[in-house]
């Protein structure tokens, strides 16, 4: 039953059931993606606290013409947070994933960032499976907005809810 298309109530705007050859996430993949997104959000909050009060000029960013601007949002998690418990928890969670799930979540991240579409996902997954575990790990941890990319990717793939989530 894990390979069946998502029920109608679970489909986002780019639902899997509508795209032949699209990335198929099993329930375990979705649960892992959600868990990594939560861990990445925790790590990003720590990064935000560490960078609070740092001037944009100190980060090499020009002042924005208007609107809000967070120059620290583009800094990858790896450098700033390497020794924080939140980052170590995220890194450990990604390291413990089997290669197949890590590759799927990397593709989900790329979809969430807008670099891939659902129609690109099958070829991207084949390419991701050829990457070494260290490359997938580095690519995922270098994503400054990993939590947003994972959540957006899940939404695009139609995995917004699971049975028992309610709603």
pLDDT tens-place string over residues 101-151: 999 999 999 999 999 988 888 889 999 999 999 999 999 988 888 999 999
- In this structure, is residue 146 part of a structural domain? yes
Residue pair 25/10 in contact (Cβ under 8 Å)? The answer is: no
CA distance 13 to 8: 11
CA distance 26 to 77: 27
pLDDT digits (tens, 9 = 90+) for 1-54: 344 333 333 333 333 334 444 677 888 889 999 999 999 999 888 877 777 765
- In this structure, is residue 27 part of a structural domain? no
- In this structure, is residue 126 part of a structural domain? yes
- In this structure, is residue 124 part of a structural domain? yes
The domain tally of the chain equals: 1
Does residue 94 have a pLDDT over 50?
yes
Percent of the chain with pLDDT over 90: 38
- Per-state percent for the chain, helix, strand, coil, to nearest 5: 60, 0, 40
Give the torsion sign (CA, 151, 155, 159, 165).
positive
- In this structure, is residue 41 part of a structural domain? yes
Residue pair 109/37 in contact (Cβ under 8 Å)? The answer is: no
- In this structure, is residue 97 part of a structural domain? yes
- In this structure, is residue 86 part of a structural domain? yes
Residue 39: name the closest of 3, 1, 80, 92 by CA: 92
Q: Give the global pTM.
A: 0.70
Q: Which two tokens stand for residue 31?
A: 């649960």
Q: What is the residue range of 112's domain? A: 32-48+77-156
- In this structure, is residue 96 part of a structural domain? yes
């Amino acid at each position: 039953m894990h390979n069946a298309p998502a029920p109608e109530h679970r489909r986002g705007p780019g639902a899997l059931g509508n795209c032949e050859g699209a990335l198929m996430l099993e329930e375990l993949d979705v649960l892992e993606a959600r868990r990594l997104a939560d861990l990445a959000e925790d790590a990003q909050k720590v990064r935000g606290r560490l960078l609070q009060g740092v001037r944009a000029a100190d980060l090499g960013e020009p002042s924005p013409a208007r609107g809000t601007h967070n120059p620290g949002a583009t800094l990858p998690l790896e450098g700033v947070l390497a020794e924080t418990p939140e980052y170590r928890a995220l890194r450990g969670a990604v390291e413990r994933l089997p290669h197949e799930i890590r590759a799927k979540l990397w593709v989900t991240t790329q979809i969430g960032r807008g670099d891939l579409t659902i129609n690109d996902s099958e070829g991207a997954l084949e390419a991701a499976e050829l990457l070494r575990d260290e490359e997938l790990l580095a690519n995922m941890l270098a994503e400054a907005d990993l939590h947003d990319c994972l959540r957006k990717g899940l939404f695009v793939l139609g995995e917004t809810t699971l049975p028992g989530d309610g709603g």
